[in-house]
Amino acid sequence: MTPKDAILGFAVAFLVAVVMTPVTARVARVVGAIDRPKDRGLAAGGTPLLGGLAMLAGILVSAAFYLHSTPRTEDRVHGILWGAVVIAVVGALDDRFELHPAAKLAGQIVAAVIPVHAGVEVVNITLPFVGALQFHSLGSVLTVVGLVAVMNVVNLSDGIDGLAAGVCAIAATVFAIIAFDLERRHAGVLAALTAGAALGFLVHNFHPASVFMGDCGSNLLGLMLGCIAVEGAVKTQAVLALVFPLLVLAVPFLDTTFVVLKRMKYGRPVWQADANHLHHRFNRIGFSQRRSVLYLYAWTMTLGAFAVALRFVPYSDNHGHFNTGWSLVMAALGLVVLAASVYLVVVLEILKVKRLVWMRHASGHDEAAVDAEVEQALATGEFPAVRLD
């Protein structure tokens, strides 16, 4: 397999997803898989789900033409694709019948076990200055846990038009670049197919969305990205193998971590949905859906570009010796990424909250009251939406 296979596979997956998404939307309306209005949601409700089935079709059709596995990778590739089918079916059932959280978790575990049983497993990782860390028999269990975690991270981040599809498309594109450089060509093509399918669906899902991917799609993308990360980077001997997935998926990981910790802090079930995700908070300070999602796209691109730079910039010989000039370049890039992250989280959220609260107290300029209200808003993640009219 070559980069040409990845590019053609991307294109076919994109076209199939574009064509099939309206079809799955009609099917969703017929079977009653419709998103209902929710207090926590940003959508008006009444939008068909099951868009993930269109992405699955794009991945499978494209894989049939452009994913040429070798005897060494055939079982793992088939395991990933069968796992994708299983999780898409489980997600579709959840979209239609709202499965109990335990039943949905069981379905995720089954879908994750399929590729792991086929060999998609992390048996060791190479840490900087430490060397290889062996997992032995725990490798399969840890991999299943990791895949289920990624599925839920993507699922929890899917709360605004175009967000999950766009972020996952960016992430898959970055994984494809890194996987090909690491000579993990099957993972590179899988990543390209996933990116194409996600972008094809995004044509219909960008605000105002005519269809949602539902749990069917978010779990599918989570499983695909998790398996691609294992096959494309984590399973190699690259020193920074574990860093690549963490950087590329940092936005949904950070968002989910924040939300879960907040729920734990206030004694809420971690699986119980609320309106404390980044996109909800941006909406409450006056950002439109499009502006919110474009900022999050930009953040993901920044992190993805840094992950690519870590792989291609020759700042180290991978034996503990660093090139001063290129190391300074990487440090500068790291500062840019850090500044972008701080800008997004602090300037766009915390400082704007304080400015808006200050406006509410403008008549008395009571700074202590402003600080108290801001502290409460940041602690609970709840503050009144800003009306620009």
What would the pLDDT profile of 29-38 be if each residue is shown by its tens digit? 999 999 875 5
Residues 179-206 have pLDDT tens digits of 999 889 999 999 999 999 999 999 999 9
SS3 of residue 90 by DSSP: helix
Greater confidence (325 vs 243) lies with 325
Query: What do you get for the CA distance between the two ends of the chain, in Å?
Result: 55
Count Cβ atoms within 10 A of the Cβ of residue 155 and give its class: 0-12 exposed, 13-18 middle, 19 or more buried: buried
| Helix intervals (H) in the chain | 3-31, 51-66, 74-97, 101-117, 138-157, 163-181, 185-205, 214-229, 243-248, 250-265, 278-284, 289-312, 324-342, 352-360, 367-380
181-190, 250-259, 324-333, 369-378: range with highest mean pLDDT = 181-190
Helix axes 185-205, 3-31, angle to 10 degrees: 40
Q: Rounded mean pLDDT of the chain?
A: 84
Greater confidence (357 vs 251) lies with 251
Residues 215-272 have pLDDT tens digits of 999 999 999 999 999 998 887 766 677 778 888 888 888 777 777 777 777 677 766 6
pTM tops 0.75, yes or no:
yes
Count Cβ atoms within 10 A of the Cβ of residue 122 and give its class: 0-12 exposed, 13-18 middle, 19 or more buried: buried
Assign residue 321 a region (left: φ > 0; alpha: ψ between -120 and 50; beta: otherwise).
beta
Judged against a pLDDT cut of 60, whether residue 43 lies above it is answered with no
pLDDT of residue 389: 46
Average pLDDT over residues 312-321: 72
pLDDT of residue 175: 93
| Residue written as token pair 């995720």 | 108
CA 222 – CA 152 distance, rounded (Å) = 7
Average pLDDT over residues 16-21: 97
CA 334 – CA 311 distance, rounded (Å) = 14
Greater confidence (131 vs 167) lies with 167
CA 191 – CA 228 distance, rounded (Å) = 6
For residue 150, which of 212, 230, 206 has the smallest C-alpha distance? 230
Average pLDDT over residues 84-111: 95
For residue 171, which of 236, 229, 254, 241 has the smallest C-alpha distance? 229
| Helix intervals (H) in 34-132 | 51-66, 74-97, 101-117
Average pLDDT over residues 69-94: 94
CB-based burial, 261-290: b 16+ in 10 Å, e otherwise: ebbeeeeeeeeebebbbbbbbbbbbebebe
Average pLDDT over residues 370-385: 58
**Vertex 319 angle, CA 316 and 325, to 5°:** 20
pLDDT of residue 259: 75
Judged against a pLDDT cut of 50, whether residue 39 lies above it is answered with no
Counting Cα atoms < 13 Å in the Cβ hemisphere of 383 gives 27
CA 332 – CA 348 distance, rounded (Å) = 23
The pLDDT confidence band at residue 124, using thresholds 50, 70 and 90, is confident
Single-letter amino acid code for the residue at 288: S
pLDDT of residue 147: 95
CA 121 – CA 76 distance, rounded (Å) = 9
Greater confidence (11 vs 388) lies with 11
Average pLDDT over residues 289-294: 86
pLDDT of residue 319: 62
pLDDT of residue 257: 78
Single-letter amino acid code for the residue at 34: I
Handedness of CA 8, 177, 68, 112 (dihedral sign): negative
Average pLDDT over residues 336-342: 86
pLDDT of residue 380: 56
The pLDDT confidence band at residue 381, using thresholds 50, 70 and 90, is low
CA 31 – CA 216 distance, rounded (Å) = 14
The pLDDT confidence band at residue 384, using thresholds 50, 70 and 90, is low
Assigned token pair, 226: 């998790």
Average pLDDT over residues 39-45: 50
The percentage of residues in the chain with a pLDDT greater than 70, rounded to a whole number, is 79
CA 148 – CA 153 distance, rounded (Å) = 9
The pLDDT confidence band at residue 388, using thresholds 50, 70 and 90, is very low
Judged against a pLDDT cut of 50, whether residue 144 lies above it is answered with yes
Least confident of 190-194, 210-214, 340-344: 340-344
What does DSSP say about strands 124-127 and 131-134: parallel, antiparallel, or unpaired? antiparallel
Greater confidence (294 vs 284) lies with 294
